Amino acid sequence: MKPIHVGLLGSGTVGGGTFTVLSRNAAEITRRAGRPIRISVVADKNLELARQVTGGACRITDDAFAVVNDPDVDVVVELIGGYGVARELVMQAIANGKHVVTANKALLAVHGNEIFAAAQEKGVMVAFEAAVAGGIPIIKALREGLAANRIEWAAGIINGTTNFILSEMRDKGLPFAEVLKEAQRLGYAEADPTFDIEGIDAAHKATLIASVAFGIPVQFDKAYVEGITQLQAADIKYAEQLGYRIKLLGIAKRRDDGVELRVHPTLVPARRLIANVEGAMNAILVKGDAVGATLYYGKGAGAEPTASSVIADLVDVARAATIDPDNRVPHLAFQPDQLHDLPILPIAEAETAYYLRLQVEDRPGVLADVTRILADQQISIDAMLQREPQEGEAQTDIIILTHRCREKAADAAIAKVEALAAVQGKVIKLRLEELQ
């Protein structure tokens, strides 16, 4: 059968891994796809790198637009990244009637609606398994494996850099800044780690998970995003004493009045499997009404793990290329005319439990004042921990775990607590999810 000819844009880490795995497992992949899948041209500004990756096995060029305009290319694999030229290339490929495979979560989180609409119009596929959680097949699981379910929520560790940092902070009791430097030295964090440590990368991925899980348009601009830069080692230690671990989670939760889409440090019970995912590994927990909770775990980045997802998408394209476009698996799992307009709720309307740490003067009556304020906002206390003050100390820490409440109620209570004369500085607030 006629091979599928692929144009590869980018020969960096993932591009190199894709070329390597596709070459090494060519026979097995052909057996699965029903036809050979061959990279016929690679585009990269660094021609020397492209030569090293391909070993002269295919054409190379420094003109990516020449690839997307090449009539002999059936599928364009976009591994350049970013919002700018990558968008132009993907849109041009679609306009030329080519299928697209991409690992570019930022591009799809911001411009996905436009890209999917263009692909639908042209009858081509846009596959993006590698855009979320590297080698973990979470998009296929949500789109196909869990198709019988009404997905209730998904919560995931979907950024390996931040998970490595939090694991090190917990294991070694070190401050964030010190662990970040070590992560950069080891290659887990970029020289500019902003997208990772500020939660933006996780929010891109959570946005795509929400869209596929609930059948809603891509709405990254409405996600609540909070990174780990302000997280203190003391709170990781206190959480541990209370039976919790802190993870940066991407959370997508369906409610009757809308969808919660948020990324932030989260206390998770230490007995949960996802709480024990350490280092640079990823994991996503998905709750469906029929299947219950399902956990997906594996490497969220790296050359060959991500290439595994890229090539899985290529196999899907090879299998489905000749199918009537209306009968293919929809880009966002639901038929394009059946997407819901459920709103993304503001963070003030989120419902969760809270960890509150107060530094207070060590004198009678303080705790009574705090609990009264919480009660006035209909917030009940689940657990409490008070640090014994050291000799000579005039203040101490009180840690309170609340039951679930609206964020706006928690914020109102915190503002009143901070106004108490006995409370020193700001109250530390972290969200808590039981993930049952």
Residue 239: per-residue pLDDT: 97
Contact 91, 21 (CB under 8 A): no
Q: How many CB atoms lie within 10 A of CB 276?
A: 12
Q: Report H helices in 144-199.
A: 160-172, 176-186, 194-197
Contact 127, 103 (CB under 8 A): no
What lies within 8 Å, CB to CB, of 285 at 6+ separation is 154, 155, 156, 272, 273, 274, 293, 294, 295, 296, 435
Q: How many whole angstroms separate alpha carbon 131 and alpha carbon 118? A: 19
What is the torsional sign of CA 10, 187, 190, 170? positive
Residue 248, strand partner residues:
265
Mean pLDDT by 10 residues, the chain (436 residues): 94 95 96 96 96 94 98 97 95 98 98 97 96 96 97 98 96 93 90 96 98 97 97 96 97 97 98 96 98 96 95 95 84 87 96 97 91 97 88 86 98 97 96 96
Q: Are strands 4-9 and 37-43 parallel, antiparallel or unpaired?
A: parallel
Tens-place pLDDT, residues 371-403: 999 999 999 999 999 888 777 677 899 999 999
Q: How many CB atoms lie within 10 A of CB 368?
A: 9
What lies within 8 Å, CB to CB, of 222 at 6+ separation is 261, 343, 344
Residue 361, strand partner residues:
395
Length of the chain: 436
Out of 98, 105, 205, 253, pick the active-site residue.
205
Contact 131, 205 (CB under 8 A): yes
Measured CA to CA in angstroms, residue 240 lies from 110, 269, 282, 384, 429 at distances of: 36, 9, 21, 13, 16
DSSP character for 340?
-
Amino acid 301 reads A
Contact 310, 15 (CB under 8 A): no
Q: How many whole angstroms separate alpha carbon 400 and alpha carbon 372? A: 13
Work out the end-to-end distance of the chain between its first and last CA atoms, rounded to an integer number of angstroms.
Answer: 49
Residue 357, strand partner residues:
399, 428
Contact 268, 151 (CB under 8 A): no
Contact 109, 87 (CB under 8 A): no
Q: How many whole angstroms separate alpha carbon 422 and alpha carbon 358? A: 10
Q: 364 by DSSP, 3-state: which?
A: coil
Q: How many whole angstroms separate alpha carbon 366 and alpha carbon 360? A: 8
Q: Are strands 423-432 and 258-269 parallel, antiparallel or unpaired?
A: parallel
Q: 181 by DSSP, 3-state: which?
A: helix
Q: How many whole angstroms separate alpha carbon 180 and alpha carbon 103? A: 25
Domains of the chain are 4-135+303-338 (3.40.50.720), 139-299 (3.30.360.10), 350-432 (3.30.70.260)
Q: How many CB atoms lie within 10 A of CB 326?
A: 10
Tens-place pLDDT, residues 243-291: 999 999 999 999 999 999 999 999 999 999 999 999 999 999 999 999 9
Residue 10: per-residue pLDDT: 96
pTM listed for this prediction = 0.95
Q: Are strands 4-9 and 381-386 parallel, antiparallel or unpaired?
A: unpaired
Residue 395: per-residue pLDDT: 87
> Which of these, 39, 3, 10, 8, lies nearest to 22 by C-alpha position?
39
CA angle 13, 186, 51 (to 5 degrees): 25
Q: Is 205 a catalytic residue?
A: yes
Q: How many whole angstroms separate alpha carbon 385 and alpha carbon 25? A: 55
Residue 38, strand partner residues:
5
Q: How many whole angstroms separate alpha carbon 19 and alpha carbon 42? A: 10
